[in-house]
Amino acid sequence: MALFYWNTHLETGNHQIDGQHKRLFELTNNIADAVSGQGSLPDVPALLAELIDYAKTHFCDEEKLMCRSSLTASKKQQHICAHRAFDSRVQAIAAKSDLEQAEAVNEILNFLVNWLVTHILKLDHRMVHALPDRDDGDAPSLSVQEILIAALNESERRFRQLAEQAPTMLWFAGTSGAREFVNREWSEFMGLTEGEMRAADWSSFLHTDDRERYRSFLDERLRQHDAGLIEYRIRAKDGHLKWVLEKVMPRLDENRFVGLIGADTDVTAMKETTATLEHLVAQRTEQLERLVNSDSLTGLLNRRAFDERLDQEIQRAQRYNRPLSLLFIDIDHFKEVNDRHGHVVGDEVLRAMASVLKKGLRATDAACRYGGEEFAVILVETDKLEALSIAERIRIAAENTKLEQLDRSATISIGVSFLSSEDLAVDLIQRADDSMYVAKKNGRNQSYMQ
């Protein structure tokens, strides 16, 4: 659908001039179609070449006719200067090598629209009416304003028709922000007639958490006369809240602000898809973190994750002067288990020991498979006496856990260390390791703190 319609109010009465004007109208409409997405964007150099060709032919013909007119010398010169300005403007656009294709086409379209209104409707009409062989008979003389009003009324009607056919939701508002028009897409989306849509308090349809933000957004557009983008939730005809992405642009009449235009898209499905993807990504991230930080056999923290956690807990404890203890645990005679029963049974013993630790520790504690048959446990907010008590509780639980593969339990030896204000992680680990070896040396199946 054309953006600019030729009608009798736009005719000068000179067939040669009118034919050339129609050519420019057709070119402008083609560009407008391309910009609105109804066609492919034209090649900018070819478009500029076509405008230069139009100017050479049209301006030459006009200036020959103007020589015969009764215009004063100053008005003739004004007309010629306008022609030269057209050439200069086209050359200036051609010289902007940094413009993207879409930007260049938009700039050309804006220039041509302004030219159609200011030159063809004003200067060309004045020149043709000053020709000696002009015979208007009894035809009424229309002012530029009257010609514009007639053309704009036709354009408004056509534009509303175009808006009704548009596959997106559109609305127009005046300077107060009150909606004067909503298209069919909006009416169908809301399940209301255009009249009901205009009469209703628009913000009442919005989610209560979005109303004030939306009002502020529109007030800002009305004050600044600029464009903006906003997302909000609105209750549609099915009673469900829908997400809408809205772009609001100023309506201008010869640079005078006359209201707003809104173009809206239902993005509910995209939002739901995004939320689903974000949830899946979060799940996968959590799973990967568990894989990266966990021992594959026991499900406890691995050595790398343990080292990071221990550093964090030491820093926290020393900064806030809080107690922290560490347990080092070794399964007694584990090499004999592997040698006699094999590594499959040995793995079952390791998993059983991990289960004992998980059941016997608090949620704030952190258990790790340190390496081989050795385990380590970080006991936060735990002093020496409580650490020894927890160590004994774990040792007794292990001693009382019968393993079917061995037909007996597997005992453990535990070394305990307590953090001092000067300790590094290596100091805390070394003392716990040394204590564990004392426990083993003293006969195993016991806890010890140096």
Residue 202 burial (CB count, 10 A): 19
Q: What is the CATH number assigned to the segment(s) 166-271? A: 3.30.450.20
Kind and range of the H or E element at 447?
Answer: strand 447-449
Q: What is the rounded CA–CA span in Å between residue 122 and residue 65?
A: 16
Confidence of residue 431 (pLDDT cuts 50, 70, 90): very high
Residue 300's Cβ-side half-sphere holds a number of Cα atoms within 13 Å equal to 28
Q: Which fold has domain 294-449?
A: Alpha-Beta Plaits (3.30.70)
Q: Residue 172 pLDDT more than 70?
A: yes
Tell how strand 447-449 and strand 412-418 pair up.
parallel
Q: Is the pLDDT of residue 121 over 70?
A: no
pLDDT digits (tens, 9 = 90+) for 224-276: 999 999 999 999 887 889 999 999 989 887 678 888 988 888 888 888 887 78
Model confidence over 77-112: pLDDT tens digits?
988 888 898 889 889 888 887 778 888 888 888 788
Comparison of pLDDT for 244 and 450, the residue scoring more:
244
Q: Helices (DSSP H) in 400-446: which residue ranges?
A: 425-441
Residue 324 pLDDT level (bands cut at 50, 70, 90) = very high
149 has a pLDDT exceeding 50: no
CATH 3.30.450.20 in the chain is located at 166-271
Q: Please report where in the chains the tokens 């037909």 appear, as a residue.
A: 407
Distance CA(252)–CA(47), nearest Å, equals 26
| Model pTM score | 0.44
Please return the burial class of 289, using the count of CB atoms within 10 Å of its CB with bins 0-12, 13-18 and 19+.
Answer: exposed
Helix (H) / strand (E) containing 230: strand 228-235
- What's the pLDDT score for residue 70? 84
- The reported pLDDT for the residue numbered 145 is 45
Helix (H) or strand (E) holding 53: helix 44-67
Distance CA 229, CA 243 (A): 13
- pLDDT tens for residues 186-216? 888 888 877 777 677 778 889 999 999 999 9
Per-residue confidence band for 140, with pLDDT thresholds at 50, 70 and 90 = very low
Q: Which amino acid, 208?
A: T
Mean of the per-residue pLDDT values of the chain: 84
pLDDT attached to residue 326: 97
Alpha carbons within 13 angstroms on the beta-carbon side of residue 24 total: 27
Which residues make up the CATH 1.20.120.50 domain(s) of the chain? 8-160
- 8 Å CB contact between 152 and 146: no
CATH number of the 8-160 domain? 1.20.120.50
Structure-token match 């879409």, residue found: 102
